[in-house]
Amino acid sequence: MDHSQQQKRCNTVLLSPAQTPRSSVRRSLRDSLSMDLWGSNVKPDRGVNVEVILRCRPLNDDEKELKLPVVISCHEDKGEVSVVQNTAYKQIDKTFSFDKVFGPTSQQKELFDEAISPIVNEVLEGYNCTIFAYGQTGTGKTYTMEGGRVGVVESGEFPRDVGIIPRAVQQIFDVLEARDEDYSMKVTFLELYNEDIMDLLAPDESLNGPDDKSRKPIALMEDGRGGVFIRGLEQEVVCTADRIYKILEKGSAKRHTADSLLNMQSSRSHTIFSITIHVKESSSNGEELMKCGKLNLVDLAGSENVVRSGAKEGRVREAGEINKSLLTLGRVINALVEHSGHVPYRDSKLTRLLRDSLGGNTKTCIIATVSPSIHSLEETLNTLDYAHRAKKIKNRPEVNQRVAKSELIKDLYKEIERLRQEIYDEKEKNGIYTPHDRFQIEEAERKALAEQIKSMEFDLVFKDKELMGLQKLYDTQQTLTAELSEKLQMTQKDLEKTQNTLLEIEGRNRKANATIKEKEHLISHLLQSEKSLTKQASELREELEHVASEASNLFSKLEQQDKLENGNKNLVQKFQTHLAKQLDVLHQTVAASVTQQEEHLKSMEKDFDYSLSKKMGGIQELTAQVRNLKKTHESGIKSLDDISEELDMSYRSAFSNLTSEVSRNSSALVGHFEEKTATPGSFQNIAVDKIHV
């Protein structure tokens, strides 16, 4: 399909600028049995675990040059990662399991086809999906999400280093074009830098680059329904994959990056690239509906050790804000895994933006990236532990409710009217005027901030008291330290005596540790068995409740069917009496019609006999005429045969005379050939005369 056709189909769907995916409403089981096809199709399940993928990058050039040992082993077929380190001071042997594991030799296309492509298909079916990369700085998060430049796509194949975002964009357009559906698509691109939200698609106000102070942050607002929205975030409507590639390249160039000892181009901010797709469908009654899906692609900034990264001055603050937001993200994950009553979403703008992706109605996939080098062992273990805990989070994905196209047009007109009113108010009022609905939103935000400040003040008082208690504890510890130092001098004298005893105790300790490990292994197996039994019991209970509800519904339907059958019997009896009356009338009508038809047939039979007698007389006359014509024809043919024989005999005699004449005059014809050629008419006359002779 050429670009003009694609542009035409892309623009056929009208959308409101304020339109966002609407989550479907969970209904009761009785209502779900009669649910309409185009309504919400939520299934009353217990949720879906967050999918966690681990990717290990290969050693970089510096690590290869230093010949650093590798402490990570990836078992892709088992979905496991092993961390092994044996030194004189520390022994580590841990194994973590994940949904999918991609080792150092894995390629971008392999990761996308096996793990990301099914998620993109879910977006096109009307789900909201989130994919975000997490890990230490320098482990390949941005490479995994964005990769290298797209460049020219030859025969539908990207360069091998192209990341998830361009491949997902291309798959979306390929599927939509293959289905030949009308659609509309818009994208947003933002970054979270030092807890300030920046719009990467906003028009450039200066040429000083992304560090220019003229770039103003935009506000994150509460929507009054437990969610958030970003005021003033630029939304760009797109119709081609190339346009999205340019937007992605333009926004990435504005992103805050810096050089550090751990990464030549370290991301100093979190970014969220969102694609919202509206696809037009038709319901069974011919109404045009809109199916909406949203894909959030999140590239988190990497956690880092300030000492190892060599951060100074402003970079220290950036690293602190990054680590703070990631720490809050870890606390949110812990609260969701432990089913805590309070989940600290509000402690960071990052967790507020990802609230629906963690424990909400979105399908979420986390890509944890690690380094195999021993120098990053501590950060690698933290990442693996974080990702392993995140596997236990349960989301409740729901298909977005279909919306009528007429409703979207109404929202569009309302949005235009609101913007007109704001422009008019700006012209008429002195100073800055805020519309009433926006003022209410800001007031709700202020109240929420005031409540947060009160809670923080309460926490501050509590922390002060805790600090005083810790100070007292520190003082007592100081006195105890002095006493212990005196005792230490005394115990040093007895150290030589206790060394032999210590060796014996160490041997016993080894045996005791082995016994403890065996007991811990048995206890872990027993706990796992107990958990599995508890899970099976809860599943059986839910299945019994489901069967009971279905039985009640079945009884109600049987009662309705009995009522319908009684009504049908009464209708059948009435219909039989009415049918008998109608049949009597029909019988009388048919009898009268039969008598009329018999009379009409008798008259037709008389007419037919009369016409048949006339026709037979005419046929006899025609037969006599045909016989006379036949005799005349036979006599004519005989005379023609006689004439033909006479002509044949005359022709043969004339031909023999002509042949003899030609042989006698052949010499004369040769001499006068040129003369005869000049006068062909005379030659023809002579030949004709010879023939007649």
- 135 annotated among ligand-binding-site residues: yes
Say what the pLDDT of residue 529 is.
Answer: 87
Q: Can you tell me the distance from the alpha carbon of 383 to that of 155, in angstroms, rounded to the nearest whole number? A: 38
Q: Specify the higher pLDDT residue, 357 or 149.
A: 357
Q: Can you tell me the distance from the alpha carbon of 319 to that of 328, in angstroms, rounded to the nearest whole number? A: 14
Model confidence at 21, pLDDT cuts 50, 70, 90, reads: very low
Say what the pLDDT of residue 112 is.
Answer: 93
Cα distances from 125 to residues 14, 16, 112, in angstroms, run: 19, 21, 18
pLDDT > 90? residue 97: yes
Cα distances from 19 to residues 188, 231, 608, in angstroms, run: 13, 13, 84
pLDDT > 80? residue 583: yes
Q: Are 160 and 325 in contact (CB under 8 A)?
A: no
Say what the pLDDT of residue 293 is.
Answer: 92
Say what the pLDDT of residue 620 is.
Answer: 79
- 142 annotated among ligand-binding-site residues: yes
Average pLDDT over residues 262-276: 78
pLDDT digits (tens, 9 = 90+) for 216-265: 788 788 776 667 888 778 888 898 888 998 898 888 888 876 565 555 66
**323, exposed or middle or buried, with CB in 10 Å at 0-12, 13-18, 19+?**
middle
Average pLDDT over residues 47-70: 88
pLDDT > 50? residue 207: no
CA nearest 299: which of 176, 193, 432, 428?
193
pLDDT > 50? residue 48: yes
- 137 annotated among ligand-binding-site residues: yes
Question: What percent of the chain has pLDDT above 70?
Answer: 78
pLDDT digits (tens, 9 = 90+) for 480-531: 888 887 888 787 778 777 777 878 888 888 888 888 888 888 888 888 888 8
- 479 annotated among ligand-binding-site residues: no
For the stretch 299-315, what's the b/e string if a residue is b when 16 or more beta carbons lie within 10 angstroms of its beta carbon? Answer: bbbbbbbeeebebeeeb
pLDDT > 80? residue 548: yes
Q: Are 287 and 20 in contact (CB under 8 A)?
A: no
Average pLDDT over residues 71-89: 85
- 431 annotated among ligand-binding-site residues: no
pLDDT > 80? residue 597: yes
Q: Can you tell me the distance from the alpha carbon of 103 to that of 111, in angstroms, rounded to the nearest whole number? A: 10
Question: What percent of the chain has pLDDT above 90?
Answer: 15
543-22-348-382 Cα dihedral, nearest 10 degrees: 50
pLDDT digits (tens, 9 = 90+) for 645-667: 777 777 677 677 666 666 666 65
Average pLDDT over residues 126-154: 83
- What are the tokens at 482? 């002095």
Say what the pLDDT of residue 675 is.
Answer: 59
Average model confidence (pLDDT) for the chain? 78
Say what the pLDDT of residue 632 is.
Answer: 79
pLDDT > 50? residue 325: yes
Enter the pTM of the model.
Answer: 0.56
- 534 annotated among ligand-binding-site residues: no
pLDDT digits (tens, 9 = 90+) for 348-405: 888 888 888 888 889 999 999 999 988 888 888 989 998 999 999 999 988 888 777 7
- 130 annotated among ligand-binding-site residues: no
- 498 annotated among ligand-binding-site residues: no
